Structure 1
Amino acid sequence: MNKVRIKLHSAGVRALLKGAEMQDILKEQAAAVAARCGDGYESRVGVAKKRAVADIYPVTADARRDNYKNNTLEKSLK
């Protein structure tokens, strides 16, 4: 059998990971997780050094307390 070699174009892969399409996918997924958490949770999407990232975080004191006691963010990812 012949060996297949694949060489990735680093700049192209980086562009895919940072692109608007990836940010849209992350925004949709992060919003769904924040909605599962309940009131007081928000999400944001940004671009880090090498890729797009999404954050979900509690914005109110009640949400922070809820997350601290019940691990709401971790449970909502399942």
Structure 2
Amino acid sequence: MNDFHFELSRSGVRKLLKSKEMQNGLSSIAFAAQSRLGDGYTASYYTADTRAVAEISADSLSARKENADTNSILKALK
């Protein structure tokens, strides 16, 4: 058997989750999904205390109904 031991550096993971590279990656995914969804949806990103966050939300009533009926936001992320 192999006696391989792996231990994550918590400070390194924390840096990675807050990094500019992570922000750029998440924002590009969110804005690409927003462009596939069309009107009524907005994408935004920010850095929280622990990590970079990107979100897509349905703003208009018709977009909220469409997302509730068909999970359009989830499908646009695939």
Place the TM-score, normalised by the shorter chain, in its bin. 0.7 to 0.9
Cα deviation code 1:21-64 (max 9, x no counterpart): 10000000011111111111111112233221211001222222
Q: Provide the C-alpha distance between the structure 1 equivalents of 2:62 and 2:73, rounded to a whole number of angstroms.
A: 14
Quick check: 1:33 aligned with 2:8? no
Segments of 5+ residues of structure 1 without an aligned counterpart are: none
22-31 or 68-77, larger mean C-alpha shift: 68-77
Q: Provide the C-alpha distance between the structure 2 equivalents of 1:67 and 1:16, rounded to a whole number of angstroms.
A: 31
Q: Provide the C-alpha distance between the structure 2 equivalents of 1:8 and 1:22, rounded to a whole number of angstroms.
A: 18
Q: Percent same amino acid at aligned positions?
A: 42
* TM-score calculated relative to the size of structure 2: 0.80
Cα offset for 1:3? Answer: 1.6
Structure 2 counterpart of 1:38, which letter? G
Structure 1 segment 59-70 matched on structure 2, within 5 A? 59-70=59-70
User: In the alignment, which residue of structure 2 is the partner of 1:58?
Assistant: 58
User: In the alignment, which residue of structure 2 is the partner of 1:6?
Assistant: 6
Segments of 5+ residues of structure 2 without an aligned counterpart are: none
How many residues are treated as equivalent by the alignment? 78
| Two-structure CA RMSD over aligned residues (Å) | 1.8
Structure 2 counterpart of 1:59, which letter? D
User: In the alignment, which residue of structure 2 is the partner of 1:23?
Assistant: 23
